[in-house]
Amino acid sequence: MMTVAHPTSVTAVLFDWAGTMIDFGSRAPVMAMERVFGQAGVLVEEAAIRRYMGKAKREHVVAMLSEPEIAARWREAKGADWTEADVDALMVLLEPAMQECAGICRDLIPGAVETFAMLRARGIRVGSTTGYTRTMMAEIIPAAAEQGYDPEVIVCAGETAQGRPAPLMLWKALVEMGMWPAGACMAVDDAPVGVEAGRHAGMWTVGLGGSGNGVGLDHATFTALSKGEREKRMAPVVAEFTAAGADFVIESVADLDLAVAAVEQAMVRGERPGASQTRFLAGVAA
């Protein structure tokens, strides 16, 4: 029987996209959802949209429609309860809306290129997963490459039987990259549902407390806040990541070197992913 030595260094990192490597504040899905539901005559608040961020977009739409208040607004606007056919119709509108909005919000998050270069210089493989469909990613992928970010694998929503919090997208990426064991790999995400997927996959998980959906501010607005205000805004986000079982939380991908070092220190101590309490790692900006 073959035995595998306990790993002591990180071999691969799998990143989410919006709010993680691009689109500081994860604004594109909010813009697109507001537009599409508005075209249907149904008001949806930003908070409701952000509640389900990280899910595949069809699952995201269904989750929103399943909220009693939004379901009641749909019934009032349409004269009947929503159906799967209505979801199909919304998705027809959402695909181009997401593609357009994602194309607008396609700038890499500050520090993303440097982090990508750091990982490659250390021989750490880089892949990615996303709640966006392949169509929604059409403009983002080449734009990211032009800016210096080009992960070797991209797994999109709809390319596995289930999306997050199931681990299938992460597993698919690891299989395509030929990487194992999962306990030597990291999943980095701005949404708790992505952290849950990483835990289910058996990977080390890192939540992003400042750059993503939880705070929801663009980079200029976020960095203009005082240290105390940033900490206040991130506190409930860190709590959500803690509840989801994240191993570590950092402010943004610019601080990933801290998380890689912390994971490798934990590995040397013989720790396993998900075995310890969530730890927040403060970078220079914090």
Question: Which SS3 state, helix, strand or coil, does residue 18 take?
Answer: strand
Annotated active-site residue 55? The verdict is no
Identity of the residue numbered 73:
R
Sign of the four-CA dihedral 28, 63, 88, 78: negative
Count other Cβ atoms within 10 Å, centred on residue 283.
16
* Per-residue tokens: 127: 């892949």
Q: How far is CA 29 from the centre of its chain?
A: 12
What would the pLDDT profile of 223-266 be if each residue is shown by its tens digit?
A: 999 999 999 999 999 999 999 999 999 999 999 999 999 999 99
Burial of residue 121 (CB within 10 Å: 0-12, 13-18, 19+) is exposed
* Per-residue tokens: 284: 């220079």
What would the pLDDT profile of 84-135 be if each residue is shown by its tens digit?
A: 999 999 999 999 999 999 889 999 999 999 999 999 999 999 999 999 999 8
Q: Does 285 have pLDDT greater than 60?
A: no
- Rg of the chain, C-alpha, whole Å: 19
What would the pLDDT profile of 149-189 be if each residue is shown by its tens digit?
A: 999 999 999 999 999 999 999 999 999 999 999 999 999 99
Task: Determine contact, residues 153/177, Cβ cutoff 8 Å.
Answer: yes
Q: Does 3 have pLDDT greater than 80?
A: no
* Distance (Å) of CA 104 to CA 15, 218, 265: 20, 13, 39
Q: What is the pLDDT of residue 282?
A: 80
Instruction: Give the integer Cα–Cα distance in Å for 173 and 94.
Output: 25
Structural domain boundaries in the chain:
12-26+108-280, 28-104
Name the region of 138 (left: φ>0; alpha: ψ -120 to 50; beta: rest). Answer: alpha
Q: What is the pLDDT of residue 276?
A: 85
Task: Determine contact, residues 247/267, Cβ cutoff 8 Å.
Answer: no
Domain 28-104 belongs to what architecture?
A: Orthogonal Bundle (1.10)
Q: Does 286 have pLDDT greater than 50?
A: no
Q: How confident is the model at residue 76 (pLDDT cuts 50, 70, 90)?
A: very high
Task: Determine contact, residues 261/8, Cβ cutoff 8 Å.
Answer: no
Q: Does 284 have pLDDT greater than 60?
A: no
Annotated active-site residue 57? The verdict is yes
Count other Cβ atoms within 10 Å, centred on residue 277.
8
What fold does the segment set 12-26+108-280 form as a domain?
Rossmann fold (3.40.50)
What would the pLDDT profile of 49-66 be if each residue is shown by its tens digit?
A: 999 988 889 999 999 999
Query: Active-site residue among 23, 57, 189, 190?
Result: 57
Name the region of 281 (left: φ>0; alpha: ψ -120 to 50; beta: rest). Answer: beta
- Fold match, 12-26+108-280 / 28-104: no
